[in-house]
Amino acid sequence: MRILRTIAEVRAAVREARAEGRTVGLVPTMGAFHEGHLSLMRAAREQNGLVVVSLFVNPTQFAANEDLSTYPRDEARDAALAEAQGVDILFAPEPAEIYPDGFATNIHVAGITEVLDGASRGPHHFDGVATVVTKLFGVVQPDVAYFGQKDAQQVLVVRRVVRDLDLDVRIVACPIVREPDGLAMSSRNVYLDADARAQATALNRALDAADAVHRSGERDGDSIRSAAQSVLVEAGIAAEYLELRDAETLQPVTRVERDALLLVAARVGAARLIDNHLLTTTDTSEATP
């Protein structure tokens, strides 16, 4: 595996791979790798001739009061983990390489960025995500890019950028990877002390409770949300949001008639955590257990 720092180096490596007839897969990350990241790398490795992983803590998606300065960073550890998954290139640029002096362009996706994390974290957040991902697509020009479904809203934002700007890249959303107790893997889980770590498991338990109510036949949105809210209240967690939204448009859902996302964000201890479940409308009542 090569660790590259400049756009020019990455472009040269991609040109070489293209000349050899290899497809290119990209996994955009901010580092602090966990099994969720590694699952994306493995998917990219299985499906592509060249695998590029970007490691860049993107400053433009953090607000002044957020954790940019304390976000976990350990490049040597991340590099070893990426190499073990068969990654070919780790693109680890300095901020000035991505945002040179005078940088003045911003990608804004209207509508779906103004709710949920966009409302909680501010409009800068998804502008920063959309801008840096568009830059990475321009640098790497991947055939396929891999994202985790835990960041469901981010996946939808990236898909909209690709559609609206006619970018020639296929977006693959890989399943959420969880700890044995159900907590969604996140780089920010390192902020949790033992008590907060135990409390945080209520997020997935709340979503599971709502999913069970939905699978029992309930379609009323308030009833489904209430099942999740009860678990959060019992655990002493006040959610920033607990929302039932259309899985494609993020419009509010009052009755589940098509696939919907139940999404939650909450501050637990020192960490702000997010999670979600997809509530599908496929009838599985007669499926074999």
3-class DSSP state of 46: helix
Pairing of strands 239-246, 271-279: unpaired
What is the rounded (10 degree) CA torsion for 240, 245, 247, 251?
A: -120
**For residue 282, which amino acid is it?**
T
Nearest of 165, 150, 171 to residue 273 by alpha carbon: 150
Find the Cα–Cα–Cα–Cα dihedral 230, 231, 233, 237, rounded to 10°: -140
Dist. CA 34–CA 121, nearest whole Å: 24
Structure tokens given for 257? 């008639």
Question: Which has the closest alpha carbon to 268: 183, 154, 163?
Answer: 183
Tell me, yes or no, if 37 is annotated catalytic. yes
Specify burial of residue 160 (Cβ count, 10 A radius: 0-12, 13-18, 19+): middle
**How far is Cα of residue 138 from the mean position of the Cα atoms in its chain?**
20
Catalytic residue among 37, 125, 214, 277: 37
Buried b (16+ CB within 10 A) or exposed e, 259-281: ebbbbbbbebeebbbbbbbbbee
Paired tokens of 69: 């300065």
How far apart CA 28 and CA 2 sit, in angstroms, is 16
Residues that are catalytic? 37
